[in-house]
Amino acid sequence: MAEVELRDVYKSFGKTEVIHGISCGIHDGEFVVILGPSGCGKSTVLRMIAGLEVITKGTIAIDGQVVNELEPADRDIAMVFQNYALYPHMTVYKNMAYGLKIRRMPKTEIEKRVLNAAKILELTGFLDRKPRQLSGGQRQRVAMGRCIVREPKVFLFDEPLSNLDAKLRVQMRLEIRKLHEDLKITSVFVTHDQVEAMTLGDRLIVMDNGYAAQIGSPLEVYERPATTFVAGFIGSPSMNFLNGRVSAGGESVEVSGAKPLPLPKEGLPNHAGKEAVLGIRPEHLELTEERSGLMHLSVDHAEILGADTLVYGHSGTDKSLLTVRLPGTHHLEKNTVLPLTVSSKNLHIFDRESGNRIGNGLE
């Protein structure tokens, strides 16, 4: 096990800069997820840690040793790829043992490590099979087993679940989390799936166009997103955004067609009278009585999901789009008007120009 440290890391392809100075320390035994949409640079960061991409500027250290100039084979890391990368002509046993064999490890030690990994991953009954005889989930477990037998300092996962169906992804998430709890090896996991990120990560690095938009625990990122990008990317359905203005006294925020929405008692005195973006998560908007409603939603469409109902509609004179998650089953006709309320603790205020969070200790 080892710490991984990125210090002001940049990456350029020709004149195009794609990673803009990322700094982050990954603790010994920590599971960190790099999360973001396609093209944000998350896989590039992982490949720089692995040594598959050359760093343009900055340093990467593993276990206190700067590895910028080290070849991938000398970094003591193991990587699980999206496409499994198994040898189709080899059995499961030989796929898992191959890396140890080319390192000239004794046969008894190879057998011990492979059998131990197979037991952990429940592959003992499949060691004589070839990859074509396995399901997608079993192939992914073989790919992980090939890494486990190496006993590396760091595990790197490059979107390993993206080729699996939805049910199998849930199962594999649980298996990967349990594996990490058992082995406690420092792990870096890349994904575009926020559910994977929220359920697997001890901390998240949320990427936005080559920048680390926010680094924090899953709950920190969910409850106190640092920017409108993070707020909109984390959470499903996405956060609602309404253009508004902080009141003259800084004690509330005003949006079109709604009563002034009271802010927590500390308010925003330093931003009084300024334009802002109000963020409200769909699950934090609640149905209420007409006289208690702070805003009203005119229903356009409702999706009944069983445990929840997602309601889509518009609000205010500017027809701002809103999504509301209501618990249970609600059969709602188009143009039904719903009175809604929201707790002040669940309001997120962002600067309209920069998109950065203001208030709640992040001013």
Do 303 and 349 lie in one domain? The reply is: yes
Do 284 and 203 lie in one domain? The reply is: no
Q: What is the CATH number of the domain that holds 130?
A: 3.40.50.300
Do 221 and 282 lie in one domain? The reply is: no
Do 181 and 96 lie in one domain? The reply is: yes
Rounded to whole angstroms, how far apart are CA atoms 249 and 312? 32
Residue 10 counted as domain residue:
yes
pLDDT in tens, 147-185: 889 889 999 999 988 878 888 888 888 888 988 988 899
Identify the domain boundary among 207, 228, 249: 228
Do 197 and 58 lie in one domain? The reply is: yes
Instruction: Count the domains in the chain.
Output: 2
Q: Which two tokens stand for residue 85?
A: 């990368």
Residue 363 counted as domain residue:
no
pTM: 0.89
Do 122 and 260 lie in one domain? The reply is: no
Q: Which two tokens stand for residue 275?
A: 């334009």
Rg (CA), the chain: 24
Interacting residues of 227 by C-beta distance below 8 A, sequence separation 6+: 208, 213, 214, 350, 355, 356, 357
Segments forming the whole domain that contains residue 74 = 4-228
Do 61 and 206 lie in one domain? The reply is: yes
Q: How many CB atoms lie within 10 A of CB 182?
A: 10
- pLDDT tens for the chain, residues 1 to 363: 689 999 999 999 999 999 999 999 999 999 999 999 999 999 999 999 999 999 999 999 999 999 999 999 899 999 988 887 889 999 999 999 998 998 899 999 999 999 999 988 889 999 999 999 998 888 988 988 988 898 899 999 999 888 788 888 888 888 889 889 888 999 999 999 999 999 999 999 999 999 999 999 999 999 999 999 999 999 989 999 999 999 988 899 999 888 899 988 778 888 888 999 999 999 999 999 988 888 999 999 999 998 999 999 998 777 889 999 999 998 989 999 999 999 999 999 999 999 999 875 434
Identify the domain boundary among 228, 248, 265: 228
